[in-house]
Amino acid sequence: MNFADSEIVASLLTKANHTIVTDIEAADYILINTCAIRDNAEQRIRKRLHELRALQQRHKQVRIGILGCMAERLQSQLMVEEENVSFVVGPDAYRRLPELLASVRTPGTKAAETELSTTETYADIEPVRLGSNGISAYISIMRGCQNYCAYCVVPYTRGRERSRDPETIVSEARNLFEQGYKEVTLLGQNVNSYRYASENGNVDFPELMHRVASISPLLRVRFATSHPKDLSDRLLEVMASHSNICKCIHLPVQSGSDRMLKLMNRHYDSAWYLDRIAAIRRYMPDCSITTDVIAGFCTETEEEHQMTLEMFRKVRYDYAYMFKFSMRPDTYAAKHLEDDIPEAEKTRRLEEIIALQGQIALENNRKEIGKTFEVLVEGESHRSKEQLFGRNSQNKVIVFDRHDAQPGQYIQVKVTDCTAATLKGEIVQP
């Protein structure tokens, strides 16, 4: 999401006659787009700000700005705490950046703009693709979130949920395809609640996916993130009916315990979640499933932690983003619950989940040995120039000897070996 936002910022600033430099020593402005979801994300930013002090001594003209969720959360207080920051800009205020950049030229001047909007979607902004491989791109389809999960700061930093005009989404995807891109990922905090009403009728997420996937069978379409409470059979039907909609669903479970899920305000229980998993497998037996999970949320007992492990054993995720609970100011948890699981215990629980998931991912990957997949080639393998890597529809990375394959091509690869993280294979000539 932040990556997509940075591309919008780059577009707004290039239109205002700024240019992006790759050498930080040549910059007049350094913009840091920040995350506030866990405390360690914010600590990393503070460390980076500290490191930038030496550069500011060398180049007195440099102005540093903080964008994104940390800016929204701390507002002008951040410029008091971090003296070398000249401006803070929240996620809905990027259109004002050219003006704010101009206003902080006078030494010692500071500026903050952190108003949230109920309507801003940057729908008309054609993002400038940053560090792009020219093959895959993100398209933001909605902003904000109002699910108010008890642990989560996002509703406070990104504001109310709003959906972007589908016509602008489809035309952005079509333009990318015409420029040679082969894959788009539609982004939102909860894509299943995408809804746009216009004179031409209502467009929901399954309809939007259908429209984007219909641009060309050679354009792969991915999406993130789905909230389990809103994952509909209609979406699964649409996914199953387009071969270019990638067979991969990210469905954050957060916990395997019904009491925890209720306390987290997730609006589903483990039975509902497992029913959705069964539905995915019914429509698309080859679909990969990934998740997010939090270890050590307020009052979580050992038994409830075991329920999370049990959930992992039942679903057998292909990949998981696994986190220790981090108490965030302003959230329901901060106001009403106690962060009572000791750090060492959170770590132990997290490590147990990570170990189990590593084992499951390896077992899942071993089952792929011998199968042949269509792979979109993305680039050179990090290990060897003689090898390329790409992904299959399930979003699994496959490494193979290059022969004469090129990035951006679709090729057939037969899996011959694997680790928990990667498949290895060889090109099968058609």
Q: Is 374 helix (H, G, I), strand (E, B) or coil?
A: strand
Give me the 235-254 binding string for ligand 5AD, x by CB under 6 A, dash otherwise.
-----------------x-x
Two tokens at 177?
């395809």
Q: Which of residues 316-335 bind ligand 5AD (CB under 6 A)?
A: 323, 325-326, 328
Closest-CA residue to 67 (of 48, 47, 92, 43): 92
What interhelical angle do 233-241 and 270-283 show, nearest 10?
A: 20
Closest-CA residue to 65 (of 93, 23, 37): 93
Asked if 219 and 190 touch (Cβ cutoff 8 Å), the reply is no
- 154 binds ligand SF4, rule: CB under 6 A: yes
Work out what residue 6 binds among ligand 5AD, ligand SF4, none; the CB cut-off runs from 5 to 8 Å by kind: none
Two tokens at 372?
């042949």
Give me the 222-251 binding string for ligand SF4, x by CB under 6 A, dash otherwise.
-----x------------------------
Report d(CA 24, CA 22) in Å as an integer.
6
- 380 binds ligand 5AD, rule: CB under 6 A: no
Work out what residue 147 binds among ligand 5AD, ligand SF4, none; the CB cut-off runs from 5 to 8 Å by kind: ligand SF4
> What spatial distance separates the first Cα and last Cα of the chain, rounded to whole Å?
37
Work out what residue 325 binds among ligand 5AD, ligand SF4, none; the CB cut-off runs from 5 to 8 Å by kind: ligand 5AD
Of 277 and 388, the one with the shorter C-beta distance to ligand 5AD is: 277
- 312 binds ligand 5AD, rule: CB under 6 A: no
Asked if 288 and 250 touch (Cβ cutoff 8 Å), the reply is no
- 1 binds ligand SF4, rule: CB under 6 A: no
- 401 binds ligand 5AD, rule: CB under 6 A: no
- 13 binds ligand 5AD, rule: CB under 6 A: no
> Where would I find the beta strands (DSSP E) of 238-353?
248-250, 288-295, 319-324
Q: From the CB of 328, what's the least distance to ligand 5AD, in Å? A: 5
**CB under 8 Å, gap of 24 or more: what pairs does 384-393 form?**
389/422, 392/423, 393/220, 393/246, 393/247, 393/248, 393/286
Of 211 and 262, the one with the shorter C-beta distance to ligand SF4 is: 262
Work out what residue 206 binds among ligand SF4, ligand 5AD, none; the CB cut-off runs from 5 to 8 Å by kind: none
Query: What is the 8-class DSSP label of residue 281?
Result: H
Q: From the CB of 149, what's the least distance to ligand SF4, in Å? A: 3
Work out what residue 38 binds among ligand 5AD, ligand SF4, none; the CB cut-off runs from 5 to 8 Å by kind: ligand 5AD
Work out what residue 27 binds among ligand 5AD, ligand SF4, none; the CB cut-off runs from 5 to 8 Å by kind: none
Report d(CA 319, CA 251) in Å as an integer.
11
Work out what residue 323 binds among ligand 5AD, ligand SF4, none; the CB cut-off runs from 5 to 8 Å by kind: ligand 5AD
Instruction: Please tell me the chain's helix, strand, coil percentages from 3-state DSSP, rounded to the nearest 5.
Output: 40, 25, 40
279, burial (CB in 10 Å: exposed 0-12, middle 13-18, buried 19+) = middle
Q: What count of other Cβ atoms lies within 10 Å of the Cβ of residue 181?
A: 20
- 189 binds ligand SF4, rule: CB under 6 A: yes
Of 159 and 390, the one with the shorter C-beta distance to ligand 5AD is: 159
Question: For binding to ligand 5AD (CB under 6 A), which residues are involved?
Answer: 37-38, 151-152, 252, 254, 292, 294, 323, 325-326, 328
Question: For binding to ligand SF4 (CB under 6 A), which residues are involved?
Answer: 145, 147-149, 152, 154-155, 189-190, 227
